[in-house]
Amino acid sequence: MINLSQYFTKIKGELYKNISLAPLTWFKVGGPAEYLFIPKNKEDLIAFLKQYPAEQPKTIIGAGSWGSALAIALSDKFDQIFLITKNKSAIDSLANQHWALSVPFGKNISLTDNFNVIDKSSAVLIATPSSSFNSVLDSILPYLNMKPIAWATKGLDPHTGGLLHETFSQKLPNYHPCIISGPTFAAEIAEKKPAAIVVASMDEGTRELWANIIQTKTLRAYTNPDIVGVQVGGSVKNILAIAAGIANGLGFGANTQAALITRGLAEMTRLGVALGAEKITFQGLSGMGDLILTCSDDLSRNRRFGKELANNINAEKALKNINATVEGFSALKLVIDSANQLKIEMPICEQVMLVTQGIKTPIDAVNELLLRKTNQE
């Protein structure tokens, strides 16, 4: 067990060891806490969180390419990373390396399908597809014990149609929601190529803590209080990447891609602002940055999915060909339903949905966009 008191020499608040929590709770119950810190102010709390020792293991839930890449990136910084898979067969199939990554797992990355490793961890990061987000929260709740938790999942909750922070707050009302997002391909993160990422939370201490955890020598973290905008950017950009893939698959050029990215950004911004986001967020890493990345490179599975559709392959077969989660496809109907409820125009996203439903061919969808009534930019 780590003696935390040796790490916190510069704090101004009070740090207690083996103190009863009963006098501090509403019902006057509670056993002894290993440590209890009472900060003097917000700045003192942030300083305390930043000094939290690296020796404490971290847990990442989700051993897909993204979760595996984050585990590899953070394994140089922390002594131990627990990487939770969905079952034992997934551990066997992964062995020492995720098939989509060129970098093997380090010796300090432990694969497991048991959530009880969270008991040994100081922080928990969810990196599962959005379809699993709801059930993962239910599964980990008994183990959290107020440990810091964040997610690196992009998309909407298919069970509610809402943003993930809404689901999070409903299930974990005593925790501060925090999302990690931005223009990052898993393969390049695992290879430790320089990149930047955004940590968004309405709580300053939470986002500072996670920025400190996630930042490495090659991954720079920026913070943003606009958790709504960061989520909208991370969800809508995947749909627009499908559109970019369709355009590329049809043989269109750089002019088309520039138009799609620019007008797609306008759609993303309109929806985000209507949901309560700040317009400026979409000019940053989680908006424009992530959109440019996802629309421009075939490392994006959403873009590859769009290229499959351009060859008049139906959505079901295209998904099988990609053989990985396509978050843009999962988010499509949810985004369009939200836009319709808010009376927001999202013509590019609408045409993508019609193509995936087989209602329109890719070329008909392009013509529909080009023949729309002229609008002011």
From CA 362, how far away is CA 239, in angstroms rounded?
Answer: 14
Give the CATH number, domain containing residue 134: 3.40.50.720
Is residue 51 in a domain?
no
Q: Are residues 349 and 275 in the same domain?
A: yes
Structure tokens at 331: 């988010």
Quote the pTM value. Answer: 0.85
What is the per-residue pLDDT for 144?
92
Give the domain range for residue 27: 4-40
pLDDT in tens, 243-300: 999 999 999 999 999 999 999 999 999 999 999 999 999 999 999 999 999 999 999 9
Domain membership flag for residue 210: yes
Q: Is residue 47 part of a domain?
A: no
The DSSP bridge partners found for residue 15 are 37
Gap between the Cα atoms of 69 and 60, Å rounded: 10
Element (H, E) at 372: none
- Is 98 in the same domain as 214? yes
Low-confidence residues in the chain, pLDDT < 70: 1-10, 26-27, 29-31, 50-55, 376-377
Give the Cα separation of 29 and 20 in Å (integer).
9
In a domain, residue 52? The reply is: no
Q: How many domains does the chain have?
A: 3
The helix or strand, by DSSP H or E, that contains position 145, with its residue range, turns out to be none
Clarify whether residues 79 and 147 are in a common domain: yes
Same domain, 309 and 186: no
Amino acid 1: pLDDT: 39
Q: Verify that 239 and 180 share a domain, yes or no.
A: no
3 state SS for 191-237: CCCCEEEEEECCCHHHHHHHHHHHCCCCEEEEEECCHHHHHHHHHHH
Q: Are residues 65 and 90 in the same domain?
A: yes
Tell me which of 171, 237, 307, 333 is the catalytic residue.
237
Tell me, yes or no, whether 375 lies in a domain.
no
Tokens of 42: 């917000």
86 labelled catalytic: no
